Amino acid sequence: MQGAIKLGKHRGYRVTVAFREPDVAILTVSRSDAARLGEEETKYGAHFRGSLAGGRVRADFGAIGSIDVRFHRQGPAEKAELLKECDGKLPLFETGRWVGKVSLRGEGGYFAVSTGSAAGEVDRVFRLSCPVKHPVPLPAHESLREQVEPETGGSLISAILGTVSSLEAVSTEGGRVVALRAAHASGRGPGAEVEAGAFEYQGRMPVGRTVQILNAPAGSLVTSMPGERPATATLKPGAPFSGEAEYLATSPAAHRWTGTLTVRFPGLTVPLAGPSFSSTLCVVSTLVKPEGCEYQPPDWQGAEESTGGAEAR
Residues interacting with another protein, by CB under 8 A? 164-165, 184, 186-192, 218-219, 221-228, 283, 285-290
Identify which of 221, 182, 173, 179 has the alpha carbon closest to the alpha carbon of residue 196.
179
β-strands 176-185, 92-105: how paired?
A: unpaired
Least spacing, CB of residue 229 vs another protein, in Å: 10
Least spacing, CB of residue 298 vs another protein, in Å: 18
Note the helical H segments in the chain: 144-148, 156-161
Indicate the residue among 224 and 278 with the shorter CB distance to another protein.
224
Indicate the residue among 109 and 219 with the shorter CB distance to another protein.
219
Indicate the residue among 5 and 213 with the shorter CB distance to another protein.
213
Indicate the residue among 27 and 233 with the shorter CB distance to another protein.
233
Least spacing, CB of residue 255 vs another protein, in Å: 17
The counts of H helices and E strands in the chain are 2, 26
Indicate the residue among 21 and 291 with the shorter CB distance to another protein.
291
Identify which of 55, 60, 1 has the alpha carbon closest to the alpha carbon of residue 25.
60
- Biggest CA–CA distance in the chain, Å, is 69
What separation in angstroms does the CA of 75 have from each of 72, 94, 96, 309?
A: 10, 8, 8, 51
Least spacing, CB of residue 222 vs another protein, in Å: 4
Contact between 57 and 23 (Cβ < 8 Å): no
Least spacing, CB of residue 303 vs another protein, in Å: 26
How far does Cα 89 stand from its chain's mean position?
35
Residue 282, strand partner residues: 166
Least spacing, CB of residue 194 vs another protein, in Å: 13
How far apart CA 234 and CA 222 sit, in angstroms, is: 5
Contact between 206 and 182 (Cβ < 8 Å): no
Indicate the residue among 163 and 171 with the shorter CB distance to another protein.
163
Return the DSSP state at 250.
E
Indicate the residue among 128 and 222 with the shorter CB distance to another protein.
222
Least spacing, CB of residue 190 vs another protein, in Å: 4
